[in-house]
Amino acid sequence: MKHFLSIRDLSRDDLPRLFAQIAELKARTKARDRSTPLPGRTLALIFEKPSLRTRVTFEVAMTQLGGTSVYLSAQEIGMGKRETVPDVARNLSRWVDGVAARVFSHRTLEQLAEHASIPVISGLSDLEHPCQALADFFTLWERGMDLAKLRLGWVGDGNNVCNSLLLLGSMLGTSAVVATPPGYEPDARVLEECRRLGGRIRLTTEAPEAIENADVIYTDTWISMGQEGDREQRLEAFQRYQVNDRLLAFAPGNALVMHCLPAHRGEEITDAVLDGPRSLILEQAENRLHAQKAIILNLLGGDQS
């Protein structure tokens, strides 16, 4: 693995080792292990979109690994406006050891990777959110769930998180039913790749169908950054897709609920569900730290034992 822009940068053979490595890194953190496998290494954080979890987890990950990070906002570097993406990539390659970028367009990530001589990690793009998907499936693996038999029910927008979950699920053998309003389905190229990987995915417009046999129910915001102008249209389109107690009545009693956050409480999910006993949401958020530490170690080198 040279970069981590997409779930497809992983292979099926990578996943058991990667999950075990994430678990070990988490255990070291819980044990207050002060070993620092990346002393002197620096990760640049390019953020066209702000974030709580992505920024904090990457910065803390580098600190715990013995390195440091440099945060670069869109206003500071004006990537693609004040300075071209290739020039940003070439300059950073002379100063730092890796780049994590949270961007609007997946093409920006691809350009960074094309022109950088250092690893590039996706912190999110319009196409995928691979770090989130890795942390999510690790969260389920950590609970002892058989991912090859897992049934995932997605309710809401077929967005970047959905795309990454479907790709990783297809590699792991997870089946999925995705419920979206017409016109909001997952990316067609992603669905084609999932089928090539042997993925078992069914699309529907009915939320109850997605969760009636689900082990895990997943939802995400209906209105991502950059979509604020479509707010009223989206709220109308998604009104039947809220994950609430009424919808959960269609699901098995032991089905768990996931959300990548931030949540718009009262829109795609209710307080009762988000804060309820079925919720894995804070576990997912915590595991972003450990999953990203594993990705950083694999790309930036150091002690990976």
Show the DSSP H helices in 119-270 as ranges: 130-142, 160-172, 188-196, 207-211, 231-237, 245-248
Is-catalytic flag, 290? no
Could you confirm whether 111 is annotated as catalytic?
Answer: no
Q: Verify whether residue 102 is a known catalytic residue.
A: yes
CA 237 – CA 41 distance, rounded (Å): 46
Q: Is 131 a catalytic residue?
A: no
d(CA 13, CA 129): 21
102, 106, 259, 278: which is the annotated catalytic residue? Answer: 102
Catalytic residue among 64, 260, 284, 290: 260
Residue pointed to by tokens 């042997």: 198
Q: How many Å apart are CA 164 and CA 166, to the nearest integer?
A: 5
Is 33 within 8 Å of 293 (Cβ atoms)?
no
Per the residue annotation, which of 132, 242, 284, 292 is the catalytic one?
Answer: 132
| Catalytic status, residue 260 | yes
Alpha carbon distance, N-terminus to C-terminus of the chain:
17
Amino acid letter for position 302: G
Given 151, 215, 220, 284, the catalytic residue: 220
Using the CB atoms, write b or e for 240-274: b if 16+ within 10 Å.
ebbbeeebbebbeeebbbbbbbebeeebbbbeebb
Report the greatest alpha carbon distance in the chain.
Answer: 56
Which of these is catalytic: 129, 234, 278, 290? 129
Catalytic status, residue 292: no
* Residue ranges of E strands in 48-117: 68-73, 98-102
Helix (H) or strand (E) holding 122: strand 120-124
Sign of CA dihedral 26, 27, 32, 33: negative
Calpha distance 48→104 (Å, rounded): 7
Q: Which residues are marked as active site?
A: 102, 129, 132, 220, 260, 288
